[in-house]
Chain A
Amino acid sequence: MSAVVAEHDEHEHHDHGPMKGWLRWIITTNHKDIGTLYLVFSLAMFFVGGAMAMVIRAELFEPGMQFVEPQFFNSMTTMHALVMVFGAVMPAFVGLANWMIPLMIGAPDMALPRMNNMSFWLLVAGVLLLASTLFMEGGAPAGGWTLYPPLVLQTGKALPFAIFSVHLLGVSSIMGAINIIATIFNMRAPAMTLMKMPLFVWTWLITAFLLIAIMPVFAGAVTMLLTDRFFNTSFFDAAGGGDPVLYQHIFWFFGHPEVYVMILPTFGVASTIIPVFARKPLFGYSSMVYATASIAFLSFIVWAHHMFTVGMPIAGELYFMYATMLIAIPTGVKVFNWTATMWKGAMTFETPMLFSISFVVLFTLGGFTGLMMSIAPVDFQYHDTYFIVAHFHYTLVPASIFILMAAGYYWLPKWTGNMYNEKIGQLHFWLSVISVNILFFPQHFLGLAGMPRRIPDYAIQFADWNMISSIGGFIFGLSQLLFLYIVIDTIRGGTGEKVTDEVWEEASKHGLEWTLPSPPPYHTFTTPPVIVPSEHH
């Protein structure tokens, strides 16, 4: 990372500060406003999707049917996934990108501020359209978030709404990604060369390429679903010469890079936070960049490992098996780099660091189960069981979500100028890290024993682990209310302690954002900052 001397002359530009009134939030083009909108919206969706997860865990608390109809249960698993992926995790990272990328590269704003506004509002429109399906005849989509035909074509009135919602979310993501690429390529301060950029910026640059490449693919796939259902086409119907497996190939060509869209910015934030609290520069900066790029490239050539049981030719099974295993190499580079960054560091354990360390440990665990499932013959046993549910929740909850929490604790003092309550933060961390393991670890056992996913009832031998998992789920869900409390409390003044520009000890060595006042003024870097390269690089 580069040491930084910023020259900000905020006194010159007072012509447009924030507007008065609520209209400000609708027509704003300010990257900080839009970042805030994204973050608040994603936090709200985190609780909506979380409530759906609570319904799922309540129903699975005991064998037999307790609370909801099977159809509604399946709607819950489907909508929980869609809301969490497209409403919570992705927008949260776009929010961080909006807030932090201009501050980190010394830019005054995003490159295309009006499009930035539209991409946020299209996201809201898409999620509203999706949520409206919950109240429709025939219920919300219930065929799983992958929307596989022919099952999904049996959806009631909700189907076209769900499909158009995907289109809107896709347009929103593409606009956001184009904006991020244009910002990073065109708005960097002089001397902020590509290989001096913080890793969060790098990972987002690569993620943005993924998004532009895959969102149109998903849009095309759901468009074919729409025409198959309403316009007599036969893309996924063998009677007309089509193939339902074609949908799965297209979906996962989108879907596999999509899961990396959620994890690459996670890597970026972890690589930003860990060095600050280890008080060492990031170990292996350039290898981190190359590893991220390699993971992104590999993500495009491994998609059919989601379909090992679909009946592919043996050559396909073998190719996708070996290609998938390759991902472990760049991912291993990253895990070792984070560990080496902490090695002999003068570490302190504030809440952001706690979440980041537990991310490194638990994400690695999720990665290992991924490696298990990459082995095609073994995957026949794991496929569509709770083992895969445990796997991807380990890579999403204690990885992406934990790092989003870490990012919240790390940057809230910068955003608000107030310090959060460290005691409650630590309580939130310990409750989360213990309950998340009670919640998801038993699901490995359930899956290995053969419990299928997306079923509201189960055989009696799965009862104990399900009950334990549900208890963990309830504790985890309730613990997140602490985070909500801390966010609101910090915005309203927090501990009352005014934080410095740096907030964290010597943080300004690690990023340009810590050279700005806390909170930063409405417009920052209206003239480019001067960046002095440090000896670390």
Chain B
Amino acid sequence: MARAGHIEDLRQLRSVEEMIERIGSFLPSQGPLRTFVHHNTLHHFEDLEFFEALDEAAGVFAANTAFPETTYQGLCRSGRIDLTDINRVLAEQSLDGAMWLLGASRRKMVRSLMLAAPVPLTAEMLRWRLLEKRYLDRFHPEVSASKAQHIVQSDSRIAESLLRYWLDAYASIVKDWHQEWLHELVDVHELMHSPQDSWTEGDSLRLMWIASIVVAREVLAARPDFGASHRRPAKHTPIEETVNPYLIKFTASFLDAGLAYLTMYDRTRGLLWAFFAHMRNTSAVRPTWLRGDLSRFDGLRACDIIEQILRSRGVPEPEWGQYLLDKALILKGWGGLVRQSELGVSGVATRAELRDFLAVRLMLEELADGYYSRHPHRMPSYGDEDQEFELTRPGLADVDDEATRIRTTAYHLFHAFQLLPCAGSEILGLSAAEREDLVSLACRFDAPERCRVWHQAYEWNLYSRAASAILAVNRERGQKRACEPACQVVCCIDDREESFRRYLEEINEGYETFGTAGFFGVDAEFHSLYERPAPFCPVNVVPTHSIQVTARRGSEGRLLGLQRVKTLQSDVEMFIDSKSRSLVRGWLLALGGIVALVPLSLSTLAPRLMHRVRVYLKRALLNPADESSIVFAEEEGAEDTGRFTLDEMALRVRTLLQTTGLSRHLAPLVVVMGHGSYSTNNPYRSAYDCGACGGRPGRLNPRVFALMANRRDVREKVREQGIEIPEATQFVGAFHNTTTDAVEYFDLDSISSANRKVFEKFRADVEVARAQNALERCRRFDDAEVSTVSQAIAHVESRAHHIAQPRPEYGHATNAICVVGRREITKGLFLDRRAFLVSYDKAADPETAALRNLLRAVIPVCMGINLEYFFSALDNQRYGAGTKLPHNVTSLLGLMTGYCSDLRTGLPAQMIEIHEATRLLVIIEQEPDKILELLSREPELDRVVKNRWVVVMAYRAEANELFLFDHTQAFVKLEGAIGGLRSVASSLDWVVGKKEHLEFVRIGRAT
């Protein structure tokens, strides 16, 4: 395992090419926004242990490694983090509960440090707290009366020599601060001569304050950065700032996929060439700083230019990598997009190279530098360089002078000692060695370390609740199998389908649900009349097949008509959009602009009405899905390559049936349901779509799968391979819109009359389930005033079609768990839409071959989603995209904040605001040693599991046991009593009217 930091690696490299290659992997790897695929924001750091990676990345990106400590303390007060959670994490750090010093254990000491408030204090603030708020007169409310009395008593017996010694020490520390009140507050005379019986709380607290100051000084002598901010905000020089707008505008123009009418004349020869071409094309209006001479770089390759500039700036060679990385990180979003285009991501019009991008930046800096050295007074000043326009982060603020640091640390310790609680005289009475022990413990748990403990406790709280819920629900579950399933539904593993499946099962016990990746094994490129060919499969799968969607016999004309209407609508929109920016046609359009009032007012005041009209018109015309048909292999020339052969179809059907456990018993009706979303005026629309379909709506995949599985010849083949699909069983493709909760079905005319009734019943039940699902979703929307299911449907529909809606749905927010196993182990458990549910039948997979394939797809996908939300929530400015409100679509590829900024990658604030940043807990129903064995054969998975980017548990159904893959890199059985699980009559009883994260509960009574 590579333990050395990535930055050190960079120093080993010698050639600029290699350095740039390496630098590229630091940059965000988000492609064009039209297909948004979730990925681990810190993918490049996966070879490090998770928290080490966080630290290292924080150094590179100047980002947070955790939330502010006060946030965790708030969570602790609200009960979201428990003391037992903290204890567990500390136990992992080999801090046990054995008695240590001051009448407490090490663990308790650290816990007190965590619970105390490390507030950066100026002298005035300290004085306010100690004197005006009377913190020196009364013990902290958590100190019980008997404890307080005990402390006062033991303090009153303090030896006079000891007291005198420490009072001198105190005086010598505070004397240089010119804070007379600090002397006065400890009235030496009074303290020394107060008789034992008149010793008060205030005297004890003064003693403790003295002790705190003394210990604080020793702590800071050992760890000078204790209590200081560890985040060094990146500061850019005026020259770099001057260059940015040019580089942003130029790169945006170069990569532009069609937004500007007038683009660079020739973009095929690369960014560097285009830059030189532009520089040669001098014009009188060019900003003066750009008019310098660049002829010395003519004809050079990008890397040579970089090398030449680095040498001329006198950067020592080992520093080159770091230097270039810093330069690349100034506009990391744009650099990342350039890099993506270099790697050939689809959707970018032209290919740019990162080396060109960096060469252009360095050359521009040369120009700016030359200009400012000639005209120093034109150098822009940026006011107070230290001032960062950012909300202050309590607890992590910069504390520069020593006095403030000692005060801050002392105040922190003062608080911690009271929470312990211990007496000031005890601290002062410690031997030198003991005090050293105390100091070293405090040093070890500085702010970042404490936050790390906090965060792990925060995560563990959730994990333990999930684990005990699963154990509890299975402990009390009866063994008898429910009635024969009337209908089975195969959904995507998506966390948003958890509630939908739960409602379906609640409505009718005869429904069984399954989860599998939403492309249903159909890894194909779809060619249809109404969409451009696109691969509808996970991004790491290269589709080798294509599927043609053509008009059904007899409906060619109607489909063509629809196509024309769509084309016309799109043409009109595009015409207005581009021509309103031109001269004459723009004038004519503006003269008739009053017409725009109609869509303007309708789309803001009555979005749902507009949607209804659209639906009505569409129904009146036709539904393209009803009119099209799908072409398979033999129907048009068997030799046609790219189409699925019979064997390939059979393989896909068999794999799905076997892996999910469907093949055990097939119901007469199997509904295969893909999902996607619809929202308007939302650049992130694709992020809500199906990740397994490559960030596209999974509308065609379930349909194709159903058609495959319904084919007689395919079933024949499948039977040969040992799986019997009953004659009566029929597959139906369906599509679930996760924003509006609408469900549509495909190819219904093939349903046999026997199944018709089952289907009609199912369809009616889905209508109820989707409305209930919508109601559950509405509880999360702060602005939803909804109390009935019909209101809920209306609300989610209007959200989808409202052009002002920054959060049409919450997407994957709150995702935290992934269960790989039979639905039986989670059935009847309310998982609050937080779990990816993957159906996996352990019994059908003794060799774990199917599990291996499953995990290879499931872990990267779910972890990618989870970690993208994690990092965007952790530091929304640096890992995320900031607030959505001032976003500005640029080059049709990405978003800038406002007028001219770096490209924003990651998720916007509106998508993560309700998310809890916890790593994904993957619970796999399989023997622990089999999982270990499997991991040893999958280095990619092994890496992320061992480095704890996901937390893995193994579930053994036979004994109802969970095993945690813990920090010792082994599966350890989870011990401890399983708490009782609360039961509620139905999901709706539990959710309605509640906005917060909910406990996991059992739905219905225990059987």
Q: Do the two chains belong together in a single complex? A: no
